[in-house]
Structure 1
Amino acid sequence: MPLKATSVRLDDETLARVGEMAKAMDRPRAWLMAEAIKQFVAREEWFIQEVEKGVKAADEGRLTDHTDVKAKWEAKRAAQMD
C-alpha cells in the first residue's frame, strides 16, 4: 500500500517523547507515529463495533440482570483470593 505524506501537530514535549521512543526502538519517528495511529484506529473501531453490538442486544431485550453479573464477578474475585 503506498504511503501518503501528511502532517501531525504535536506539542514539543510529546514530540520529544516520541523521538526518544523511536530512538530506543531504533525506528524512524514517522514509523512510530504511523504505528501508533494504526493501533489507535484499530482499537477504536473494535470498541465502536462492540458498543453497537451491545446496543443491538439491549434493543432486542437480550440483557443480563445486574445481580447475575455481580454474583459472577464476586465469585471470580473470591476464587482469586484463595
Structure 2
Amino acid sequence: MAGSTITVRTDPEVAAQIAVLAQAMDRSRNWVIEEALKQYIQTQSWQIEGIKQAQASLDRGEGIPFDAVMEEMDALIEQTARTRDA
C-alpha cells in the first residue's frame, strides 16, 4: 500500500525517544510514529463523539441541572466527613 508523506518537525528529545522505542520494538521509526498517530486519532475521535453525544443529550433536555449536581456533591462530602469523623 502506497502511503502519503508527511514532514514533521519535532524536539530532538522526542525524536530520540522515538528512535529508542523503534529499536526496542525492532520496528522502524516510521512504524512507531504511524502507530502513535493512529492511537491519537482514535482517542480524539472517541472523545469528540462523546462530546457530540453529550451535547445532543443536553439539547434533548436530558442533562442534570448544575445546582442539583452541586447539592449532591455537597451531601456526599458531608457524608464522607461524618463517616471519617465517626
TM-score bracket for this pair, using the shorter chain length: 0.7 to 0.9
Equivalent residue for 1:8? Answer: 8
RMSD: 2.1
TM-score scaled by length of structure 2 = 0.72
Equivalent residue for 1:48? Answer: 48
Deviation at 1:63, TM superposition (A): 1.9
State how 1:55-70 maps to structure 2 within 5 Å: 55-64=55-64, 65-66=68-69, 67=72
Q: Quick one: distance in 2 between partners of 1:2 and 1:51?
A: 34
Q: Structure 1 stretch 1-10 or stretch 49-58: which is displaced more? A: 1-10
Largest Rg, 1 or 2: 2
Q: Quick one: distance in 2 between partners of 1:52 and 1:2?
A: 34
Q: Quick one: distance in 1 between partners of 2:6 and 2:52?
A: 31
State how 1:64-79 maps to structure 2 within 5 Å: 64=64, 65-66=68-69, 67=72
TM-score scaled by length of structure 1 = 0.75
Instruction: Report the number of matched residues.
Output: 71
Deviation at 1:2, TM superposition (A): 2.6
Percent identity at matched positions?
Answer: 30
